[in-house]
Every structure is written in structure tokens, then in C-alpha cells.
Chain A
Amino acid sequence: MRGPYRAADGGETVSFSFDGVPLKARPGDTLAAALLANGIGLVGRSFKYHRPRGIMAAGVEEPNALVTVGEGGRAEPNTRATDLFVYDGLVATSQNHWLSLSHDAGAVIGLASRALPAGFYYKTFFGPAKRWLRYEVPIRRAAGLGKAPAERDPDGFAQRAGFCDVLVVGAGPAGLKAALDAAEGGARVMLVEQDAVLGASLIRDPEAGRDPAWIEAAAARIRALGGRILTRTTASGYWDHNFVTLAERLVEPGAIPPHGIAQRLWHVRAGKVILATGALERPIPFSDNDRPGVMLSQAVRTYVRRFGVVPGRRVVIATNNDDAYRTADALAEAGADVVAILDARPAGSGPASPYPTHFDARPAGVSGTRHHLKRVTALVGGREQGWEADLLAVSGGFVPVVHLHMQAGGKLDWNEAAQAFVPGPIAQACVTVGGAADPPPAPPVTPAGAPKKSFVDFQNDVTLADVDLAWQEGYRSVEHLKRYTTLGMATDQGKTSNIVALSRLAEKQGVAVPDAGVTTFRPPYTPVTMGVLAGTAAKSAGAHVRRLPLHDAHARHKPVWQPTGHWFRPRAYPLEGETTTAAAMREAKAVRQHVGLTDVSTLAKFEVSGPDAAALLELVCATAVATLKTGRGRYTFMLREDGMVFDDGTVWRIADDRYLLTSSTGGADRMATHLSYVRNTLRPEMRVSVVNVQEHHAAVALAGPRAKAIVETLTGGEPPRHMSAARATLAGVPVLVLAASYSGERAFEIYAEATAALPVWSALAAAVAAAGGGPYGLDAMDLLRIEKGHVLVGGEVDGRTTPDDMGLRTMLNKAGGYIGAAGLQRPALSETGRLQLVGLEALDGAILEGAMLIAAEGETPHGHVTAAGRRVADEGSIALALLRDGRARHGETLIASSPMRGASTRVRVAAPHFYDAAGERYRG
């Protein structure tokens, strides 16, 4: 066993646990620092091969050390141990292992990694389906990063808008300086830093910049000038017109927020953005370079100087630049033994070094246990040499963090000396400063060792061999390489891997790296929780609830509620012990035999008035409107410009220059926008007013043989005849009575002002109950309309059907001139082979909604069932369907097959009117 890797000072005060083992940390530690201090080398397993992985970096770019932090609904998977500050009681667990972290059955896959090469998913899933069935269980068990919590997140999330003249991203020396200058110049400044402290790089490299005391002084000055400084805040997305989203952590992942709010998303509109995002160190590819104990050089220096943790006692440093020599100094100051510096550059490069330094030297391999490194080998001038070491610090140069620059639409320039992309031209008011703009020189390093185990993307287990294989198999563009190998995907988005892989691709292509291309960086820069994107809407999943004006009246009957759009409507009103299906049938039977009432308040309703009201409606409706006499109504439907049915409803001429147009509940908002578009952009010259009155009126439909008598009694007058409108007073409330039938029975829709509708409902409900009926819900309405062959928007009207397909051609306005008239003339719409509305009667069993219509098992479908139900009269199974050339096929026998539900029924094709085809009942 190894002792702690931290200089003892007795100051450890924070308790946390990793995989159930209680451990101690110092305040200010990241989880990674605390684990290293406790001598823990093995932190997780890799995504694909389940290879043992340790900690590689000291920031958000960490690809390996992903843990799940917190418990229950607060559990947050894939949290980088390097971007998580330890708090008292923190519970962290390792991921991607199957059995245990130390003994992973899935690692066998790693031994047989030949079975999972690049493009594995493509090859498997394009192969025979049976192969997937064989692989599914082990793949599902082994694959995936972490596990999503099953419980609801108990925490709250907030969103806030921010405005500033200058937004500075990154509070290193360059960012702090830029923010200070802007604030002193009188600008409103926001400075955001993803780390918990400002100027962390000055702690890592005190000799490189200013006195650490300068940090606090600069911050205090910015605040005094009215600037806002946010730490633990990541600029996650840079959008158009200098709009930047910031994800602010108010508590660390998994912690209980004291004020209930865990994170806040800032929507910032900035006058100017200054990106001081720094640079990330890149690794060097060589065999087994993913083993615990191989770390990035600057990360090692950060652990030593900032956290007082020395990740190794005997250290080899491999580099191609000067920066890594500072890591040697930091380690030596902390008492570690720097046994070798391997500099890939020729002799004479690099600063003067007191350590055993080798030039033209590249690491070639490492060995050790699952937990710790033991030995490092290298090619020095082409000759292999080895050292006993427990830490290998590598530096392959630096990659500027250009993510936000690119998200903002900026281009990249290639910096040959640094072998890195740097910010180029940008159209937005944005500049990049500091290390992100000017990385230090670092020449290319030719990889040594077997490409098969030389990892370039640690998080996705992509090796040099995978890049080679993608090339060999013809996936040669950078975008194809990404998709084929999964390079640069998942939580780190290729932060450490992109350039190494691109270099290999460029080498294969025989071109310079910039000519090989680069993938686009898209938001977010680091993962953002779903909760903070939803904000305060997280609890309701973003949906609002619209309640019927008569909601409370329905609630007294304890209905089964059905969400339709944002509305909650009664689906059925079951009696004690009754199923929903039985209730719907009882309610429908009451309508057929006596009378029933139902709430249709959610229908879209528009009042169109003015001298040009009829002309506007003639444009919108595909049926004739102008010929409608005052006091009369008509079924109507509207077309899209391409001729497809868009919505249907009724249109009523309620006064000479005033119409009421109704359409479907689900299409209400769409229809409102459509009417507004027509009125404002197509016919601005018309003298017409279109008012959306959907929520002004409550509407109750009363249907059944006794409906007429009830209206007569309650209004004290002769009810309007079918498709006529009349004003009346019902229960002391002024109402509009429309005689229209969706159920097929004599029926009325009674409109009242929404706030005054309760007495109307109550009076009607009492009369209906006395006549042997009751309220009916959506399910009963569906049974009634299927039997009657009435189409439903979203069912038969599915955006692909024309009036002719629906059997409505004779209703089209002969005069033309309506929207969609031109589109209807397309030849393909009058060809044979179109799906047409038909009815189906089951010859055995019950027809299932969505079933395919086939002539024989295994054959190509001729159509599909759009709605299925039971006949209200004898409960036989019937359905509406869209069938190829259906109108010519009445009497034919087909199979309604639903293989996923293991059911098939023989059906007879019929006209879609199963009940009172002559229409005698509703005219009554």
C-alpha cells in the first residue's frame, strides 16, 4: 500500500467517499486532487474497452476520470473529477464497470478489442438484424457513459437575463487584465470563470505572471467599478448577435442547494465579448498512453502547486516544448525525483535543465498494475531505454480553446510553430486574448510504439489504429472520421484529442493539418444539465396546463382526464367500478338512445367581420362561404397551399357581415397564425377584422333524440333547424345556439361567455340527467364519430390527404380562388393509387388502430387503420382507414395486421358511414 501523496500538514477537514470508501480531503480540493492525495490511481473504466483509467488532466478537458456524484434524483453522471470541488459528505462512484472497478468483466472486451474496431456500430447495424439481437444484451450492459438517474431531480433551477458592454470569458491573467481595463474605461463588465477561483494559472505558475495578490486587488477593483464576477460559471454557448449562455453552478454537483436552486442559466447579450479561454495541453500518442499514472504535464504542475498533491515520486517527463520543464521544477521543489526528461526536439532545444535530459526522445510504452505505473520506456535517438517511474508527465503542445470563437461563427487559422488552430476572422464583436490566441511553439511528435494501443481520444477509446482503419476503409474526410470512430464525441468533445487525430489523418492524406479540415465545435463547451436548460419549467417539463372554463363542473364527476394539446379534457366519466372503455360505451349509447352533453370549449373559434369578411373566408375555406345565408352554417375545411387538407370545422354567418369560424382543438394555434398571415400579408387591403375568440366562449354540445326538446324547454323557443344559428337565453345567460351534429344525432352546440357558462352547463346537465343521459367524454365522442364516418384532424386528416381522398370533393367551392386551389391541380393528386378514406368491418376479432391493411401475410401494405372503435348499437368492431384506391374496393376482404402487437383481423372494406347514412336522425 502507498501512503498519501500529500505533504502532511494535518489540515484535512472535508470527508467524502469514493465507491463507498470514506476518505479525507482539504477544502478547495477538486475530487481528482483528493483522490490523488489518497493514492488512488484507478478512477474509472473506459467507455468501450473498459480499460483501467486514472486522472489525466486538471480541468474540464479531463476525458477519463468521469464519476457519478450525488444520490437519488441528485445523482449526476459523467461529472469530471477534475471539475468537481469536494464538499463535506460528497458521494462519488466510479462508472463504466461491470462487476467492480478493480475486477471488470467487460475488460475482457479490451483483451479482444479486435471485436470492436472503428466503425463497429456501422458494420453491426447494417448487417443482418439477427446479429444485433445476439449483441444487444452485452453491448447494452457494457456501453454508455454512466447511468441517468431514475428519480426526479429535487432541486430547482433558475434562468436570468444579463446585459453588459463587455463580457470577459476566463479569469486567468489575460482575462482579469482585460476585464479590469474595460471596467476602468467605464464599461459595464461581466467576468465569468468556470473554476472556483480566479487566476488559477497564476497559482500554478507564479513566476510566469503577476503576484497572486494582484488577483484579489484586480477583482476588488472590477467589483468596485460595478462589474459582475461569476465563478463556477461556464460560457457554454456563443450564439448570434453576441448572445452568450452561461451555466452557473450555485452548488457543486450532487450537493444540496441551501436556497433550493442548484444552477442558473444566464442569457447574456453583450456589446463585446473578450475570450480569454486559454489553451489545453495535448497528450502524446504511444502504446498504453491511457494507463493510470500517465498525466498531462501542466495538470501535474497544477496538482503540485495549487493542491499540494504530488502525483508521483519518480517521474519521467515527455515533451516537445519548453513548458514541461517547469513541471520538472515544480516536482523537484516538492521533493519528487525527476528521473528523466524526454524531449522530442533535437539536442540543444529547451531551457537549461538540471535533470537527466534526453533529446530526440519519445515515449514508447509504459507498464504497471491496474492502479499504478511502474515503468516507462522510450526511444532515445532510435534506441530503446527504460526507467522505473510511477508517473509520466506528457506535454504534446497546446491547443487554444477556440470553441466559443468557432461557435460565434469565427474562422480558424493554422499556427505552424504551435501545430495548433488559433482564432481567425470573426464577424461578431469578439476578440480572443492571451494563451488562447498565442500558443507556445511545439513541433510535431512522430508517434512511437504500436498504433493499436496508442490512444488519441481517451473518452471514446479511439486509437491511432482506428484513425488508420477509418482511412483505409474510405472514411477520409474529417467529418467521416469523426462519425466512423466516434472521435471527439461525448462529454469532452475532443478537447484533448482532436489535433492528434487530425495530424494522423493529414499524415495519411499527405497534406498539411489545416488542409485535412477541422470539425465544427458546437455548444455546449462543457456538458449542461437538462434541468438548467428547462429552468423553472423543469418541474412541469415545460408544458403549461390549460383548463376548461367548466373544469370544476367536470371535476365533480371525477372524469378520466385526457391531455389534448395543452388542455385537459374529460375522456370519460366512469361510474364506481366501471372501466374507461365501458364508461365510454355507456355514454355513447345514452347519446344514441336518449341524450348526452359534452364540453367542446376547446374548439378553435374566430370571429371574422367587416365588409370583406366573406371574401377573406372564401380565400381561407375550400368550400363556398359567400352564398351562405345569414343565420345559416356549413361544414368547411381549409387547405394548405399545396392542396392538402389543413383543418376542418364549421362556418356560421351570424350577421350579414359577421361570421363565426370554428376548427379543431389541436390545430387552433396553427389556424390562428394562418388567419393572421392571410389577413396581414396576403390581403392587407381588405376591410376585415379577424379576432381569435377561442377562450371567450365556452361551448357545450348537446346530442341525442331528446336534445331538441331540452333546448326548446330551456330556451323557451323553437330551436334552430339543422345547420342554423339562433340567439337565445338559457338559464338567464345569453347564448348562441348552433344546430350542428358531430355524433350523427340531432345536436346543438351552445356557446356562452366563458365566465358565465356554469349555469348553462348545470341547467343542461340536469335536463339531460332527467332525460336518461349524462355527460360524455372524448372516447364516446370518438365512438360516435367513427360510426358516422366523420374525419378527425390528426387522424384521417394527416397532412397527406386531399379533399378527394377524404371524399369531400363535391364540397369544394366551384368558383375556386381559395388557398390550395392551385395545389389541388397537380396531376399526381388525381392519379390512381392514392389513399382514400374507407370504413372497415371486422369479420373476426377486433381491429387495432394503426394496423396495416394487407391482402396476405408478409405482403406490402395497401393502407392503414386511422381510427378503430366498437359500434355503439351492437358493439361490433369497425374502423376508418386510408386504403389505396379505397372507394373502388368496397366489399373486398383484407387483413388488418399489427405484428408488433401480435394481432391480425380479417376485415371487409365498406363505405365510411356505418350509421344513418341518409342523415335522417340529425335533421330530426
Chain B
Amino acid sequence: MYLIPCPHCGPRAQAEFTYERTTDSVVDPAGPVGTAMGTLFTRANPMGMDDEIWRHTYGCRAWLVLTRDRLTHAIAAVRTIGPEALP
């Protein structure tokens, strides 16, 4: 079980979080059809760092981007996304 450093709540157990998807699999609803299906069905599966979208479901409920090593599970960076993260 990972120890995820939530920017709002501090380090918390993975059990509090929900994995959503990788950032490169976010489909732009306004984008062209071909791109959308490529994003959905043909994606990279890197053996190393990747950016993933998680939600602190049983904590502050913020949406987060984790930069996580898929091989060692080391978490290099965490940032929030969503309205509160806007400048």
C-alpha cells in the first residue's frame, strides 16, 4: 500500500485514494474523433515514471496528479488539479 503525500492532508494511506487514469488518457470531449479514440484505446505503458490522476476520496476529495514510478512505485511529485488549483 502506497503512502501518498496529499498536498492538503499530508501523507496518507493508499486506501483513502481512488485511482482514476493516467493524464495521457484524458479524452478531450471537444477534440476530434480520431484523437479521442486513440487516447482511449492506444496509450503508452511506460516502465518508469508516469503521471496519474487520483482522488483523495476518503480525505479532502481533491483530484491529484501523481508522478509515480510504475516499476518501483516511488512517488516523485504530487499536485492538485481542479478549480481550486487554478491561478
- A: which residues have CB within 8 A of B? 239-241, 243, 267, 269, 409, 427, 619, 641-642, 673, 676-677, 679-682, 684-686, 817-819, 821-823, 825-826
Question: Is there contact, CB below 8 Å, between A823 and B36?
Answer: yes
Question: Is there contact, CB below 8 Å, between A823 and B82?
Answer: no
A616–chain B nearest beta-carbon distance, Å: 11
Residue of A nearest to B26 (CB): A681
Question: Is there contact, CB below 8 Å, between A817 and B29?
Answer: yes
CB-CB under 8 A from A239, the residues of chain B are 1
B47–chain A nearest beta-carbon distance, Å: 14
Measured between alpha carbons, how far is A240 from B71 in the docked complex, in Å? 11
Question: Is there contact, CB below 8 Å, between A673 and B18?
Answer: yes
Given contacts A676-B55, A822-B37, contact A682 B72 (CB under 8 A): no
CB-CB under 8 A from B82, the residues of chain A are 679-681, 684
A566–chain B nearest beta-carbon distance, Å: 16
Measured between alpha carbons, how far is A682 from B33 in the docked complex, in Å? 17
Question: Is there contact, CB below 8 Å, between B63 and A676?
Answer: yes
Residue of A nearest to B63 (CB): A680
Question: Is there contact, CB below 8 Å, between A684 and B83?
Answer: yes
Q: A679-B83, A822-B32 known; 16 other A-B pairs, CB under 8 Å? A: A239-B1, A243-B1, A269-B13, A409-B72, A677-B63, A681-B20, A681-B82, A682-B26, A682-B29, A684-B85, A684-B86, A821-B29, A822-B31, A822-B33, A822-B36, A826-B37
Question: Is there contact, CB below 8 Å, between B81 and A819?
Answer: no
A481–chain B nearest beta-carbon distance, Å: 26
Measured between alpha carbons, how far is A826 from B86 in the docked complex, in Å? 35
Question: Is there contact, CB below 8 Å, between A823 and B40?
Answer: yes
A404–chain B nearest beta-carbon distance, Å: 15
Measured between alpha carbons, how far is A673 from B21 in the docked complex, in Å? 13
CB-CB under 8 A from B60, the residues of chain A are none
Residue of B nearest to A239 (CB): B1
Given contacts A241-B1, A409-B72, contact A681 B81 (CB under 8 A): yes
Measured between alpha carbons, how far is A619 from B27 in the docked complex, in Å? 12
Residue of B nearest to A269 (CB): B3
Given contacts A241-B73, A676-B55, A682-B26, contact A825 B85 (CB under 8 A): no
Residue B74, interface by CB 8 Å: yes
Cβ-defined partner of B73 (8 Å) among A240, A673, A825: A240
Question: Is there contact, CB below 8 Å, between A676 and B31?
Answer: no
Question: Is there contact, CB below 8 Å, between B85 and A822?
Answer: no
Scan residues 47-79 of chain B and give those whose CB is less than 8 A from a CB of chain A.
53, 55, 57, 61, 63, 72-74
Question: Is there contact, CB below 8 Å, between A641 and B36?
Answer: yes
Residue B44, interface by CB 8 Å: no
Question: Is there contact, CB below 8 Å, between B26 and A241?
Answer: no
Residue of A nearest to B4 (CB): A241
B18–chain A nearest beta-carbon distance, Å: 7
Measured between alpha carbons, how far is A496 from B73 in the docked complex, in Å? 31
The 9 closest A-B pairs by CB, nearest first: A680-B82, A822-B36, A241-B3, A822-B33, A680-B63, A240-B73, A427-B72, A243-B1, A641-B27
User: Mask for B3-47, Cβ within 8 A of A = 1, else 0?
Assistant: 100000000011000101000001111111100110010000000
Question: Is there contact, CB below 8 Å, between A619 and B29?
Answer: yes
Residue of A nearest to B40 (CB): A641
B4–chain A nearest beta-carbon distance, Å: 9
CB-CB under 8 A from A673, the residues of chain B are 18, 55, 57
CB-CB under 8 A from B33, the residues of chain A are 822, 825
A670–chain B nearest beta-carbon distance, Å: 11
A793–chain B nearest beta-carbon distance, Å: 21
16 contacts between A and B (CB under 8 A): A241-B1, A241-B3, A241-B73, A243-B2, A243-B13, A427-B74, A681-B53, A681-B82, A682-B29, A684-B81, A684-B82, A684-B85, A685-B86, A819-B27, A821-B29, A825-B33
Residue of A nearest to B20 (CB): A677
B67–chain A nearest beta-carbon distance, Å: 15
Question: Is there contact, CB below 8 Å, between A240 and B20?
Answer: no
CB-CB under 8 A from A686, the residues of chain B are 83
CB-CB under 8 A from B31, the residues of chain A are 822
Measured between alpha carbons, how far is A129 from B85 in the docked complex, in Å? 60
CB-CB under 8 A from B18, the residues of chain A are 673
A838–chain B nearest beta-carbon distance, Å: 29
Residue of A nearest to B1 (CB): A243
Residue of B nearest to A677 (CB): B20
CB-CB under 8 A from B20, the residues of chain A are 677, 681
Residue of B nearest to A689 (CB): B83
Cβ-defined partner of A681 (8 Å) among B3, B30, B63, B72: B63
Measured between alpha carbons, how far is A504 from B28 in the docked complex, in Å? 56
CB-CB under 8 A from B30, the residues of chain A are 817
CB-CB under 8 A from A681, the residues of chain B are 20, 26, 53, 63, 81-82
A408–chain B nearest beta-carbon distance, Å: 11
A618–chain B nearest beta-carbon distance, Å: 10
Question: Is there contact, CB below 8 Å, between A642 and B26?
Answer: no
CB-CB under 8 A from A679, the residues of chain B are 82-83
CB-CB under 8 A from B53, the residues of chain A are 677, 681
Q: Which has the most chain A C-beta neighbours within 10 Å: B29, B40, B57? A: B29
Question: Is there contact, CB below 8 Å, between B86 and A241?
Answer: no
Residue of A nearest to B82 (CB): A680
Given contacts A673-B55, A677-B20, A684-B81, contact A823 B29 (CB under 8 A): no
Measured between alpha carbons, how far is A673 from B53 in the docked complex, in Å? 13
B42–chain A nearest beta-carbon distance, Å: 13
CB-CB under 8 A from B29, the residues of chain A are 619, 682, 817-819, 821-822
B65–chain A nearest beta-carbon distance, Å: 9
Measured between alpha carbons, how far is A823 from B32 in the docked complex, in Å? 10
